[in-house]
Amino acid sequence: MTKQYDLGIIGAGPAGYTAALHAAIRGQNVVIFEKENIGGVCLNKGCIPTKTILHASEVYKQTINSEVLGITTSNVKLDYSKVIERKNIVIEKLRKGIELALKNARVTVIQNEAKIIDKSKIQSDGEIYDCKKIICATGSTPKIVKGLEFDHKFLLSSDDILELKNLPKSILIIGSGAIGIEWSRIFSNFGVETILIELAPHLLPLADIEVSKRIERTFKTDKIKFYTGTTVEQIQNGNVTLSNGEVFSPEKILVAIGRTPDSTPKIDGISYLGDVSGEIQLAHYAIKQAIKEVDGIEFYKDFVPSVVYGTPEIAWTGKREQDLEGQEYKKSVVLVSSLGKAWCDNETDGFIKLLSQNDKIVGVHIVSKEASALLQQIVIAMQNDITVDKLKEVCFAHPTYSEGIFDGLFKI
């Protein structure tokens, strides 16, 4: 028996469930298929669980170092199993929220594997679903590299690392993208001996060069050992030999070198959204893709925010300084240590960097507490073509980190 729908969606991650909810609001009859858990990688294996564990690690580090604030603590104990337990509770609460939203929107949810037959038919569990339109949002999986294949015991993926019941005494992390940087911070905060390996000349190679250098300085302060321009030459009997000749024997290895889009064969007439599209692998990018697909609301791909979490946060969008080599541009850098709020919070590490051309901000790069929120203010200005002179007319509250943006506008 063939079932009829206006929209069929495979994959209930950020792209899939956003498309389903927005289509349902428009009165469409929607069916969505998910073979694992509602919420996709972001909710179940990525953004949410990682940030939940990261927060716990930051509270732990702040607690044992709180004497500078006049707070003396003793016998601070860490129960990592409880950290993981809370992570699971957070995931479940958020997942139930999405499931309820889909239910209230009258979206048909099929918890089963599904296959696209052609541009108007989906097959699942022997049933055929006839859909006027189909969206494929099947996500991505941790990238596998020859010689670094996961055994899920010693060599771990970003999925595996979330399921550890106990903290290792030492860990070697390969790759310094967002996943590598955030897990380096997590393990270091918890007191785990942490070693980070990066092939590129600097950590966080996609970032502005000054951001990369600042993070390297912060890692040195935090005693996170890192090697740039370095590869893993050999892993044998628990020993890791690097290209620089150094040898380590970590308890665990986290391979954090990115994710590979799902290998679903592309079919003409199908919309591919989220990681499977092969474009920017960020949940908020997937959400905007879905809204554009369903509601027709455009978004500016050049101004998609990038955020790496931890202390301090790292956030950027637009052009990097290395992208502007040979061009005329203006630059301002405001140190976070010049801000009153930073001293109040004991969070003085970082800077706010603005790049402008023709009186318009073309790039913003922030290393600071609340960097993710600060960035959004400038994204709105950039996307709406607001000039630097016009932004100077805005009144910024005091004391805030936002004042750093205000100060930077007068230094361009």
Pair (188, 217) in one structural domain: yes
Burial class from Cβ neighbours inside 10 Å (0-12, 13-18, 19+) for residue 148 reads middle
Pair (12, 62) in one structural domain: yes
CA nearest to 228, candidates 257, 255, 198: 198
Q: For 1-34, how does the pLDDT look when each residue is reduced to its tens digit (9 = 90+)?
A: 678 999 999 999 999 999 999 999 999 999 999 9
Pair (276, 319) in one structural domain: no
Pair (265, 120) in one structural domain: yes
What is residue 1's predicted lDDT score, i.e. its pLDDT?
Answer: 62
Intervals of the chain under pLDDT 50:
none
Pair (236, 170) in one structural domain: yes
Plot region of 166 (φ>0 → left; ψ -120 to 50 → alpha; else → beta):
beta
What is residue 281's predicted lDDT score, i.e. its pLDDT?
Answer: 95
CA 16 to chain centre: 18
CATH code of residue 117 = 3.50.50.60
Alpha-helical (H) ranges within 136-272 are: 178-189, 209-221
Cis bond upstream, residue 49 (ω within 30): no
Alpha-helical (H) ranges within 105-222 are: 178-189, 209-221
Pair (10, 59) in one structural domain: yes
CATH code of residue 345 = 3.30.390.30
Q: Which domain holds residue 379?
A: 304-409
Pair (64, 170) in one structural domain: no
What's the pTM value of the predicted model, to 2 decimals?
A: 0.95
Cα gap 52→54, rounded to integer Å: 5
Q: For 110-143, how does the pLDDT look when each residue is reduced to its tens digit (9 = 90+)?
A: 999 999 999 999 999 999 999 999 999 999 999 9
Pair (62, 133) in one structural domain: yes
Residues ≥6 apart with Cβ < 8 Å to 398: 340
Residues ≥6 apart with Cβ < 8 Å to 164: 80, 84, 156, 252
Pair (286, 364) in one structural domain: no
Pair (55, 134) in one structural domain: yes
Tell me the residue type at 208: D
Alpha-helical (H) ranges within 222-298 are: 283-295
Token pair recorded at residue 218: 């912060």
Domains in the chain: how many in total? 3
Pair (100, 131) in one structural domain: yes
Pair (118, 154) in one structural domain: no
